[in-house]
Structure 1
Amino acid sequence: MPLPSATNRPQPILAWLRLCLAGGLLCLALVSTGCKAIKPSNNRTWAPDQSKLPIGDIVGDEVTIHNVRNCRYASADEYIVQYYDKDVRLSDVQSVDFIVVPFKDSPSVAHTMLSFGMKDGQYLVSSVEIRKESNEEYSAWKGFFNQYELMYVIGDERDVINLSSNYYKSDVYLYRTIASPKQAQELFVDVIKRANELAARPEFYNTLTNNCTTNIVSHVNKISPKSIPYDIRVMLPGYSDEYAYSLGLLDTSIPFEKLRDESKINQLAERYRDDANFSQYIRR
């Protein structure tokens, strides 16, 4: 039997459809209003690996970063939480690498990070993340509705990269960028200042508008205006490496597919997971 057309559909059905539509709009409005009423806070019972926010003191060429994370893992959920303070000379920051970690079940979506290289061969990762409360897990849907605070994790590569590659078992791609030492230093300072802002004035994470990739884009465009125009690949960061390549921000001397293949570091990260020279070996 064919469905009744709009002109001969029984009035009770039309009334029911209107009621459902009105109810749905009302629910959406109530959720939106309720979310706006929630205020971000840095005072909650946080997951142990996100209990401390990084804070940086910048005095001329001297930078002291407090609460650099350096966890050691037995599994993704079992780890020893470690933090330390690190003194860095700004003039020692020489490079910045772009890291892309596609989601296993949805590779068009990815987590993106920056890693800053120093003269002495050490690296510090900046990872923009949701700040999870105890026993809380990430949901992209919840991320639209002010359910997570935003935080910067500044950490050791043997923590942050190992966690993604060896414990979450995600593909990890590490790309050298073309940033000059001066640009890397300016980007590093802007990251530290942003981390300080969030420690003083918490913000909510948003799945589309305030996430790992949008913050990286904001940093780059701040030091080099309009370097990264808006593109759908910012909203789908599983393609952000391809976008960065198209903008000339990565090595374009070889085809992108070859560069991507060469930039996957999982095998090296597995082989050298506990090595003191981890950062050097994954860049072979």
Structure 2
Amino acid sequence: NVQLFRIDVSPETARTLLMQYVDAANSLAARPQWYNSLTTNCTTVVMTMIRAFADEVPLDWRVLANGYLPDYAWERGVLDQTRTVEKLRALGSITAIAQAHGVTPDYSQMIRQGIPAFVSN
């Protein structure tokens, strides 16, 4: 089950994170690495990227345990605070949409339809 969440970051921060992803992908293409479900997983890799430009991101067990990062992000105020994290998970579930639509030129736009914008308190 894939979920998409909108966060409150500046365009500059979003670009920095995107470039971190590009660099990581290029590095893996040049020099593959083993996936480690505890130390090098989809959550820990993202946290490492964020720490490259964020002031402070405290370590939490939910960073190590796949599937719990949205709860951590919600508690830290990174996700929309006007909805519960459970509601954001439901609204952000894109698996069925992605599978039904398939990979097409408008894929990125299609999977983002209906994903709520970030709203701060």
> How would you bin the TM-score normalised by the shorter chain?
0.7 to 0.9
Distance, in Å, in 2 between the alignment partners of 1:206 and 1:181 is 31
Q: TM-score, normalised by structure 1?
A: 0.36
Superposed, which structure 2 residues align to 1:60-79 within 5 Å? Answer: none
- Greater fraction strand: 1
Superposed, which structure 2 residues align to 1:172-211 within 5 Å? Answer: 172-211=2-41
* Aligned positions, number: 113
* Of 223, 226, 230, the match for 2:56: 226
Per-residue CA shift, 1:30-56, capped at 9, x if unaligned? xxxxxxxxxxxxxxxxxxxxxxxxxxx
One-letter amino acid matched to 1:184:
A
- The Cα of 1:242 is off from its aligned counterpart by 1.1
Superposed, which structure 2 residues align to 1:1-16 within 5 Å? Answer: none
- Give structure 1 stretches of 5+ with no counterpart: 1-170
Distance, in Å, in 2 between the alignment partners of 1:214 and 1:268 is 27
- Greater fraction helix: 2
Q: Which has the higher contact order (CA 8 A, sep 6+)?
A: 2
Runs of 4+ off more than 6 Å: none
Distance, in Å, in 1 between the alignment partners of 2:90 and 2:79 is 14
- The Cα of 1:185 is off from its aligned counterpart by 1.1
C-alpha change, 1:198 and 1:226, in structure 2 (3 Å) is same
- The Cα of 1:234 is off from its aligned counterpart by 1.2
Q: TM-score, normalised by structure 2?
A: 0.77
SS at match of 1:237: coil
* Of 70, 80, 83, the match for 1:251: 80
Identity of aligned pairs, percent? 38
Q: Which moved more, 1:234-243 or 1:196-205?
A: 196-205
- The Cα of 1:199 is off from its aligned counterpart by 4.6
- The Cα of 1:205 is off from its aligned counterpart by 3.0
Bigger radius of gyration, 1 or 2?
A: 1
C-alpha change, 1:277 and 1:226, in structure 2 (3 Å) is same
- Give structure 2 stretches of 5+ with no counterpart: 114-121
CA RMSD of aligned residues (A): 2.2
Q: Is the 8 A contact 2:42 2:66 kept in 1?
A: no
* Of 69, 72, 89, the match for 1:260: 89
SS at match of 2:102: coil
- The Cα of 1:222 is off from its aligned counterpart by 0.9
Q: Is the 8 A contact 2:38 2:65 kept in 1?
A: no
SS at match of 1:241: helix
SS at match of 2:68: helix
